[in-house]
Chains A and B, each alone.
Chain A
Amino acid sequence: QQPVQSPQAVILREGEDAVINCSSSKALYSVHWYRQKHGEAPVFLMILLKGGEQKGHEKISASFNEKKQQSSLYLTASQLSYSGTYFCGSLSGSNYKLTFGKGTLLTVNP
Chain B
Amino acid sequence: DAGVIQSPRHEVTEMGQEVTLRCKPISGHDYLFWYRQTMMRGLELLIYFNNNVPIDDSGMPEDRFSAKMPNASFSTLKIQPSEPRDSAVYFCASTLGAGFTDTQYFGPGTRLTVL
Which of A29, A42, A97 is B106 in contact with, Cβ under 8 Å? A42
Are the C-beta atoms of B42 and A32 separated by less than 8 Å? no
Q: Determine the chain B residues whose CB is within 8 A of the CB of A100 once the complex forms.
A: 42-44
Report A-chain residues with C-beta under 8 Å of the C-beta of B18: none
Does A58 reach chain B (CB closer than 8 Å)? no
Residue in A29, A32, A40, A99 whose beta carbon sits within 8 Å of that of B104 in the complex: A32
Question: Using Cβ atoms and an 8 Å threshold, which residues of chain A touch B55?
Answer: 95
Binds B, one of A11-19, A43-51, A65-73, A74-82: A43-51
B contact residues around A41 at 8 Å (CB) = 91, 106-109
Cβ-Cβ contact count across A and B, 8 Å cutoff: 49
B43 contact set on A, CB distance < 8 A: 42, 87, 100, 103
When chains A and B are docked, how far (Å) is the Cα of A56 from the Cα of B33?
Answer: 27
B48 interface residue (CB < 8 Å to A): yes
> What band does the interface of chain B fall in when counting residues whose beta carbon is under 8 Å from A?
20 to 34
- Asked if A91 is at the interface (CB within 8 A of a chain B CB), the reply is yes
Q: Check A102–B31 contact: CB distance below 8 A.
A: no
A62 nearest CB across to chain B (Å): 14
List 15 additional contacts besides A91-B100, A103-B42; criterion CB under 8 Å.
A2-B42, A30-B101, A34-B106, A41-B108, A41-B109, A43-B106, A44-B103, A47-B103, A87-B42, A87-B43, A89-B104, A98-B45, A99-B45, A100-B42, A101-B42
Residues of B within 8 A of A (CB): 31, 33, 42-45, 48, 55-56, 91, 98, 100-109
Q: List 10 A-B contacts (CB under 8 A).
A: A29-B100, A41-B108, A44-B105, A47-B100, A87-B42, A91-B100, A98-B33, A98-B45, A99-B45, A100-B42
User: Taking beta carbons and an 8 Å cutoff, which residues of A are in contact with B?
Assistant: 2, 29-30, 32, 34, 40-44, 47, 49, 87, 89, 91, 95-103
